Amino acid sequence: MKIYTAKGAGFCFGVKRAIDIAFKVAEEHHGGVYTLGPIIHNPQVIDELKSMGVNPVNNVSSLRGKKVGSVIVRTHGVTKQVMKNLHDKGYNVVDATCPYVKKAQYYAKLLKDEGYQVVVLGSKEHPEVKGIMSFAGRNAVVVKDAGELPKLKKKVGVVVQTTRHVDSLKELLGAIVGQTRELKVYNTLCSSTTQRLKETRELAKNVDVMVIVGGKNSANTTQLANLCRSLEVPTHHIETASELRKKWFEGARKVAISAGASTPDWLIKDVENKIKTYRRLGN
């Protein structure tokens, strides 16, 4: 049985940067460090950070009554109101928002200031999209695909949630062109996500079993698993090697492993090593 691991599997630039920031702040402060929401969608990394005194809270009001050393804003970013609230309360804010997400926020504001109605392609409930929307003005709309587009104004500007698929952007733009006079687009897709999806698709097309490693609550990891399933290859989305089952690999000649942007290398390596033991047992 051959085992392939996606070259781009694991931490992306933005997540690596945020984790490095969190560990550095933890070392300097020795407690009283909070993240607004989990810093990444990976329970194993969150547990490691907790052991160093970095704890997630759901919102700013949850910080009330706590001795706060620093508050870390995670890769997804926050709304501008939340950022203001943190500063107004006098907290030491450490901004670990991914620079690519910052760019999407910046372009949303630019489009609004230039008089465009901003259309954000993304998931309404996703924290990144909520943050972008806070810069996009009152006329802004979020759509998850072209089918959700309302009647638009004459000048339309588009930004995209960084982790969407390029095909959904193409489809959206095609639909907008039909109903507006002026269209300005900032392609804020993250190339790391696009590359990861492309590589995973290629692997899935050529193997008998796909294993996707990463948090069950991670949107980009789930997106990878769904992509593989859509190609009708048996796919298993797991968080750790302990979830692997030997029977998944019976009769398989080729297996591939991919992982979301929030999955640490050591978890991927664990999975790879455990699958190798099945190979030794006779596959």
Catalytically active residues are 128
Binds ligand F3S (CB under 6 A): choice among 70, 161, 192, 200:
192
CB of 187 to ligand F3S, least distance (A): 13
Write down the H helix ranges in the chain.
Answer: 13-29, 43-51, 80-88, 99-113, 127-133, 166-177, 191-205, 219-230, 265-280
Find out whether 21 and 96 touch, Cβ atoms under 8 Å: yes
Please, which residue, 105 or 163, has the CB nearer to ligand F3S? 163
Q: By rule CB under 6 A, what string of x and - marks binding of each residue 40-79 to ligand F3S?
A: -----------------------------------x----
- The residue among 64, 75, 159, 60 whose CA lies nearest residue 114 is 159
Query: Rounded distance, CA 139 to CA 116, Å?
Result: 9
- Tell which residue, 227, 221, 253, has the closest CA to residue 239: 221
Q: Which residue has the tokens 């945020």?
A: 18
39 binds ligand F3S (CB under 6 A): no
Report the alpha-carbon distance of residue 251 to residue 61 in Å, rounded: 54
* Contact with ligand F3S (CB under 6 A) among 98, 143, 209, 211: 98
Cα-Cα-Cα-Cα torsion 212, 16, 19, 87, nearest 10 degrees, comes to -120
List C-alpha distances in Å: 201 to 162, 192, 206, 212, 267: 19, 14, 9, 12, 21
Closest residue by Cα to residue 78 from 21, 32, 23, 39: 39
Among 3, 6, 15, 133, binds ligand F3S (CB under 6 A): 15
Is 14 a binding residue for ligand F3S by CB under 6 A? The answer is yes
Residue 134 binds ligand F3S, judged by CB under 6 A: no
Instruction: Determine if 13 is a binding residue for ligand F3S (CB under 6 A).
Output: yes
- Taking CB under 6 A as the binding criterion, the range among 82-90, 97-105, 131-139, 178-186 that sits at the site for ligand F3S is 97-105
Tell me how crowded residue 41 is: count the other CB atoms within 10 A of its CB: 25
The answer to whether the beta carbons of residues 6 and 204 sit under 8 Å apart is no
Of 5, 70, 163, 200, which one interacts with ligand F3S (CB under 6 A)?
163
- Three-state SS for 201? helix
Shortest distance in whole angstroms from residue 167 CB to ligand F3S: 17
- With CB under 6 A as the contact rule, the residue among 1, 3, 9, 12 that binds ligand F3S is 12
Please state the closest distance from residue 98 (CB atom) to ligand F3S, in A.
3
Does the footprint of ligand F3S cover residue 162 (CB under 6 A)? yes
Q: In this complex, which beta carbon is closest to ligand F3S, that of residue 21 or of residue 261?
A: 261
Candidate residues 39, 46, 60, 101; the one interacting with ligand F3S per rule CB under 6 A: 101
**Applying CB under 6 A, does 136 fall inside the site for ligand F3S?**
no
Q: Would you count residue 223 as binding ligand F3S (CB under 6 A)? A: no
Q: Shortest approach of ligand F3S to residue 260 CB, angstroms?
A: 9
Chain positions contacting ligand F3S, by CB under 6 A: 12-15, 75, 98, 100-101, 162-163, 190, 192-193, 261
